[in-house]
Structure 1
Amino acid sequence: MQKRLSLAGVSRMLLILIGIWIIWIIVVWSIQHRIMFPASMIDASRILTGAPSGVESIWLTDNGDRIESWFIPGKGVSAETPGPVVVFAHGNGELIDDNLDLTWLADLGTSVLLIEYRGYGRSTGSPSQRNLVSDTTRFVELLTQRPEVDPDRIGFMGRSIGCSVLAQVARSHPPNAMIMMVPPARLDSMAWRFGVPPFMVRSPFRTDLAVREFDSPLLLLPRDEDEIIPEGHAEIIDANASNSTIITLRGHHNWLDDSNEVKRQHKAIKAFLLSNGILKPDVDQP
């Protein structure tokens, strides 16, 4: 009798736990958008009123939404002397406003396009894998029509989820070179951190599969103490890519250990852009 009661008690407990887990899955399902794209949690003080001096604001419209990007012209670049451009996509907790330090690339002679996401900063709408990839693709297509841009010298550079966005874009618009900083191999695999199976993720961002569909030279820059996207993600991407290089930097997900590592990252990026024809060999040292 006691054994039967014990088994019945265990069964009831299992049913309760399963019920709690199902409720938890429903909760996470309903808020996963805010977890993956926490635009509402970004401090409003970080949002500038508009593009700073010397930076051009470019807008797309789609179904009533307005999506912004910032174009930073490269040093010495003009319609008469077109030059390269690096398309940059930031992480999910960032804004284009946070990445004006990429002017160091413009000083080397390459223009920079900073892509904003729907619902972030001054852009309206709701972000999703489909929207981010579609918007970024349109921005890339606009770039090729600009007289100051050499369409044969376009590079992509992403950080965190931005790597995933650009990898999807590269399937149809392969760049001349791509740089991925702290790249996730697949975001759906991170769902287990929240106790949710991967198939429940609506924006899986399968970078590991996307890199199989283009052969652009790829530089992977993971960090040895990244607590959010461990170095193993870059290794998975490397295993699936046809033309990739990994350089592991010392640091965490959101910062490098010191100024020497920042310089090391800049040096690696510059060398990669030079070796793949984005930059010319006669550019000044940063």
Structure 2
Amino acid sequence: MVLLKSLSLGFLSAAFVLAALALLLRLLENRLTFYPWHEFESLPEDFGLDYEEIRLCPAAGATVHGWYFRPRETEAPVLLLCHGNAGNISHRLEWLAPFIRSGLGAVLFDYRGYGLSSGKPGEIAFREDALAVWEFLTLRKGIPPRNLVVIGRSLGGAPASWLAGERESRCLVLEGVFGQGKEMAAKLFGFLPVHLVMKNRWEIARSLKRVAVPVLIIHGTRDEVVPFRLGERLAAQSDPSRVTFWPVEGGGHLDLDQLLGEEYYQRILKFIRGA
């Protein structure tokens, strides 16, 4: 009897500790997910790029700040970039500049809570912010949805794939993404059932089922942040008639432009123009 009581107390104690850890992680989820920077490291003029500063209101009490780069020609594709969970739009200028110089247009925007955007970040907030930018481009700038290229890098793949499934676009490009948020939770927290208490689900695989346009998924084989197997699995679970998977040998997390140089940009441009 004493042994049974000891075992019962042991199981109860373990269950209590796990529950307490799960609750703590739930409370800290946003701090563990979002790493916004408010100061800019550079500006478009540092790269010789002409732009228009924009401010949008996706929801009450929230503003979205961004930079709009006009396409060289009226019918040229326009990129709508959903960036990852850290930094701000200034950290994406070096990556973007070659696309602008090739004649494409683009919008770089910060989710609420990032850069000069106000409000609190979150999965729903990310979606609303991306949608506000889509509406800005189509309704205020008069850009045909057929010319819009939605791009999601890292965590930005979640709002990007959601947007491409909800609104018309030319194509979708995803780089360094996963299929479900619980896959990343398992990578970070191992045996802890963190996914059971996550507020933000980040269901990229589910969103892709609603995307009707061509999709390009790019992933480095040595990605240390989002393991290559997650991007490979996402591509394998998707419709092969719409989804093209581009594994980059030796590539890390979002460093493929630096690794491949001109090849990186030319291959993406070829995909966009052929979509």
TM-score normalized by structure 1? 0.84
Distance (whole Å) between structure 1 residues aligned to residue 127 and residue 93 of structure 2: 22
Please state if 1:236 is matched with 2:229: no
* Count of residues in Structure 1 that have an aligned counterpart in Structure 2: 264
* CA apart distance, 1:183: 1.1
Which residue matches 1:271? 270
Q: Does structure 2 conserve the Cα–Cα contact (< 8 Å) formed by 1:187 and 1:204? A: yes
Distance (whole Å) between structure 1 residues aligned to residue 33 and residue 252 of structure 2: 19
Which residue matches 1:24? 21
SS at match of 1:120: coil
Which residue matches 1:284? none
Please state if 1:222 is matched with 2:216: no
Distance (whole Å) between structure 2 residues aligned to residue 147 and residue 38 of structure 1: 31
Distance (whole Å) between structure 2 residues aligned to residue 47 and residue 123 of structure 1: 16
Cα 1:261–1:236 shift into 2, 3 Å: same
SS at match of 1:222: strand
Q: Which runs of 5+ in 2 are unaligned?
A: none
Please state if 1:73 is matched with 2:103: no
Please state if 1:57 is matched with 2:53: yes
TM-score normalized by structure 2? 0.87
* CA apart distance, 1:46: 3.9
Distance (whole Å) between structure 2 residues aligned to residue 179 and residue 261 of structure 1: 17
* CA apart distance, 1:254: 4.4
Distance (whole Å) between structure 2 residues aligned to residue 111 and residue 240 of structure 1: 29
Runs of at least 4 residues of structure 1 off by over 6 A?
A: none
Q: Alignment identity in percent?
A: 22
Cα 1:114–1:45 shift into 2, 3 Å: closer
Provide, for residues 157-182 of structure 1, a one-character-per-residue CA deviation record: whole Å limited to 9, x for no partner.
11001111111111211321111010
SS at match of 1:25: helix
Distance (whole Å) between structure 1 residues aligned to residue 77 and residue 184 of structure 2: 35
The equivalences for 1:1-286 within 5 A come to 4-39=1-36, 42=37, 45-46=39-40, 52=45, 54-61=50-57, 62-74=59-71, 76-77=72-73, 81-101=74-94, 102-147=96-141, 149-192=143-186, 193-194=188-189, 195-238=192-235, 239-241=237-239, 242-249=241-248, 250-256=250-256, 259-276=258-275
Query: Which deviates further from its counterpart, 140-149 or 197-206?
Result: 140-149
Cα 1:25–1:60 shift into 2, 3 Å: same
What CA RMSD, in Å, does the superposition of the two structures yield over aligned residues?
2.2
Q: Which runs of 5+ in 1 are unaligned?
A: 277-286
Provide, for residues 70-117 of structure 1, a one-character-per-residue CA deviation record: whole Å limited to 9, x for no partner.
11223x33xxx4432010111101311111120211111110111211
Letter matched to residue 264 of structure 1: E
Cα 1:19–1:147 shift into 2, 3 Å: closer
* CA apart distance, 1:17: 1.8
**Bigger-Rg structure (1/2):** 1
Cα 1:68–1:233 shift into 2, 3 Å: same
SS at match of 2:98: helix
Q: Does structure 1 conserve the Cα–Cα contact (< 8 Å) formed by 2:217 and 2:243? A: yes
